[in-house]
Amino acid sequence: MTLLKSWIASANNATHPFPLNNLPYGIFATEGAEPRCGVAIGDLIFDITSAEAEGLINLIDEPLFDLPFWNPLMEQGPAVWAALRARLTSLLAEGSEEQDRVEPLLVAQSDAVLHMPFAVSEYTDFYAGRHHAQNVGTMFRGSENALPPNWLHIPIGYNGRASSVVVSGTDIRRPWGQLKSPDHDRPAFLPSRRFDIELEMGAIVGTPSDGPISVQEADDNIFGYVLLNDWSARDIQAWEYQPLGPFQAKATATSISPWIVTKAALEPFRCDTPAREHELLDHLKDCGPMLYDVDLSITMAPSGKPASTIARTNYREMYYSAAQQLAHHTTSGCPMNTGDLLGSGTISGPTKPERGSLLEISWGGKEPLTLDTGETRRFIEDGDTMTLTGAAKGDGYSIGFGYCVGTVLPALENPFAR
């Protein structure tokens, strides 16, 4: 597919993240106005809430965009999703006969504040990147035992905290936690000293399900994708994770990018999952290309200083797709709801510059990272700003996700000091 031309000039720039081919969904507010639904097009936002109120968009017999989140549309299913996309394309395409009606409903992105794009029902995070799992396992168990026996057969995950999912730009407070003390027999209650990020993609469930569904049905039920940063306190995690896995180490925050890139926009970029070492069971077998070719990167900026790119990788490096993760999640009969968020797990490639976490980049702190400023990092320090970016590159256009940004603030004073 090539660039679809819009009458909005900025949308026709080959490097702009929001061409007519994309049309991502978000929630925005301007000065003196309440948050409302919007679609990014070029460097503008099309006010969908107002467009519906004025009769420009009328998909069903009741309002879909009168609340400040996209869940009402998401629960309508693929036919309505496709109808909205077709209507938006006709309104914003070059030569549109309705340009005069749309123009008053456009807002400069520079004048808008972005909010959470959907109400998160529940959140599950996976551990489904082969290179990340191999790296972490090698660090702690040696290369021969890096992957647990189940890893090549099922997408491993844990249930996280929907309440701590935040939109890009939200500051992240360094967490307190119980840490193993190298100098004493008893653990210590301290701020995390090994605070980290995980570069992930988040899949958003649109159509709900009740009971087991196939991989194809799961793929049909996914509404769209966001960038996702699973903030992780590695020292808290190391002390608490046996025998039941991550808990407080992962509960501080999970940041997501503010624009939902729809599955429809990503269709031209589908690609296959890696070759399997073991044949998957029937409920997990691939039914076609299930991953996407999306370039991803991480930058780190110390307070008041320029950012350094510390990793570049691609979503195609995942071992399990979001559809396989969702299908496996339902096998126990677990209902999945509109607005459920599935984190992919850390996305790392086979080489050091492609590692998606500081735990891997610094090899557990043993190999400090040197930034462009000359400073070194083993893990995140107070004041550091971490930014995730992602884009799928087409023929003369780019499907971008915007930024997923978070700045780490110092820990609070000890809340339990006496």
Give start and end residues of each alpha helix (H) in 32-70: 48-53
Q: Is 279 exposed, middle or buried (0-12, 13-18, 19+ CB in 10 A)?
A: exposed
List 132, 278, 328, 329, catalytic entry: 132
Give start and end residues of each alpha helix (H) in 117-212: 130-141
The verdict on whether 132 is a catalytic residue reads yes
- Cβ atoms of 304 and 321 within 8 Å: the answer is no
What is the DSSP pairing of strand 385-393 with strand 295-301?
antiparallel
Check residue 238 and give left, alpha or beta (phi > 0: left; psi -120 to 50: alpha): alpha
Match 């031309």 to its residue by tokens: 5
**3-state SS class at 170:** coil
CA atoms in the 13 A half-sphere facing the CB of 211:
0
Report which DSSP code applies to 151.
T
DSSP structure string for 181-200:
-TTSSS-EEEE-SSEE--EE
* Closest to 256 measured CA to CA, from 232, 233, 230, 286: 230
Query: Catalytic amino acids?
Result: 132
